[in-house]
Amino acid sequence: MAEFDAISKHLIQTYPDDFAGFTLGREDVEVLAVIDTEQLTIEAHQTDSLIRVRLDNEEVLVHNEFQTTDSTNPPMPRRMAGYIGHAIRQHGLPIYSNVIYLRPDAGRRDPGYYIQKHLGYPIAIHYRVIRLIEIEGEHVLESGQSGLIPFTPLMKPPERMTSDAWLQQCIHTARTRPIDRSYRADYLAGMVALSELVYESATISDIIFKEGIMDLIRESSLFQSLTQQSREESFEQGERKSTFEDILEVLEIRFDLHGTDSLSARIDAIDDLQRLKQLHRAAVQVPSLEAFRDLLDE
C-alpha cells in the first residue's frame, strides 16, 4: 500500500484542483493550499491528503484517503472517525472526507459512516465512499483532468471494450498529454504502477513496449523512488523471515518446540521486525517456554 499512497499523494500535490473538484463533484472550487500531512498524530498516522479550498465563500477541508483493500482492523468507519476528528481538532474547519478505493473488489461493504447510538451520546460521522470501478473512465479521459488520468485504468471501461484495449487507451492518452517531459515521466510511472493493481505484468509490459515509453519511465524520479522503496521492503521481508526462523530454531533446541505448535503461527503473524528481534533475544534468555509465551502475550 505504501507505494500507492506515495503515487496518490504525488498526484494530489501536483494537481490539487482536479482532485478537489472530482471528490466534491463541482467545478467552482478554489484551491488555497495542499496541507502538509507529515505531522504525527497520537498513533503516528499520516492522513493521505488534506486540501484547503474555498467553497461558496467559505474555507473548508477536502480529505481523501486511498485504500487498495477493505480495512478490517480497525474497520474503515472507525479509522475515518479518527482521521476526521483529528483534522477538525488540528484545523477547526468544516471537512469533506472521502475514501477512494482503488481495487475493483474493495469498498463494497463500506457504509460511509460511523454511528454511535447508545448510552444517550449519539455520534454520527459521515464520509463519501468512492469506488473507482464505478466511475466512467472514458468521461475522465475526455475531461482532460490531468491528475485523475493516471487512475483511469482502475475505472470502468467503455462497454464492449476489452480490458487490454482500455489499458492501452489510458496509457496512450497519458503519453500524449501536453505536459513537460519531466512531469510526463512521473505521470506515466504513476499510471503504470497503479495499473499493477488490476492488470497482469505481462500485459502492462507489452503495452509499454508498443507505446515506446520504457526509457521515459526509467527517467522518472517517482519510478526510481518506488524501485528503491521496493528493494528496501524486500530486504526487510527477507530479514523478517530470517529472524522468524532463528526464533523457531532457538525454541526448538532449548524447549523442543515443534513447527506445528500454535506458538509458531503466532510468531509468524508478527510484522514488526524490531519486535521479532526482541523475541529472538528473549528466546535465548527465558527460563522456560511458558515464560516465552507470557512475553508474547504482553
Over residues 11-38, mean pLDDT: 90
pLDDT-derived band at 50 (thresholds 50, 70, 90) equals very high
Predicted confidence (pLDDT) at residue 251 exceeds the cutoff of 80 = yes
pLDDT over 70 for what percent of the chain?
89
**Residue 231 has what pLDDT?**
52
pLDDT-derived band at 72 (thresholds 50, 70, 90) equals confident
Over residues 283-292, mean pLDDT: 88
**Residue 42 has what pLDDT?**
38
Over residues 261-265, mean pLDDT: 79
> pLDDT tens for residues 148-188?
999 999 999 999 899 999 999 999 998 888 877 767 887 88
Residues 6+ apart with CB under 8 A from 204: 167, 192, 195, 196
Query: Cα–Cα distance between 173 and 178 in angstroms, integer?
Result: 10
Predicted confidence (pLDDT) at residue 298 exceeds the cutoff of 60 = yes
Here the cell at position 29 is: 472550487
Here the cell at position 260 is: 506445528
**Residue 255 has what pLDDT?**
86
Query: Cα–Cα distance between 244 and 259 in angstroms, integer?
Result: 12
**Residue 43 has what pLDDT?**
41
Query: Cα–Cα distance between 218 and 117 in angstroms, integer?
Result: 53
**Residue 76 has what pLDDT?**
95
**Residue 55 has what pLDDT?**
94
**Residue 290 has what pLDDT?**
86
Burial class (CB in 10 A: 0-12, 13-18, 19+), 68: middle
Over residues 72-95, mean pLDDT: 92
CA nearest neighbour of 106 among 145, 68, 155, 76 = 68
> pLDDT tens for residues 56-71?
999 999 999 999 999 8
3-state secondary structure of 231: helix
Domain ranges of the chain: 1-134, 136-219, 232-297
**Residue 2 has what pLDDT?**
66
Whole-prediction pTM value? 0.74
Over residues 78-86, mean pLDDT: 93
**Residue 46 has what pLDDT?**
55
Over residues 82-92, mean pLDDT: 93
pLDDT-derived band at 296 (thresholds 50, 70, 90) equals confident
Contact, 251 vs 292, CB < 8 A? Answer: yes
Predicted confidence (pLDDT) at residue 250 exceeds the cutoff of 90 = no
**Residue 79 has what pLDDT?**
93
Over residues 38-55, mean pLDDT: 67
**Residue 44 has what pLDDT?**
39
Contact, 292 vs 286, CB < 8 A? Answer: yes
Average pLDDT for the chain: 85
**281 or 269: which leads in pLDDT:** 281
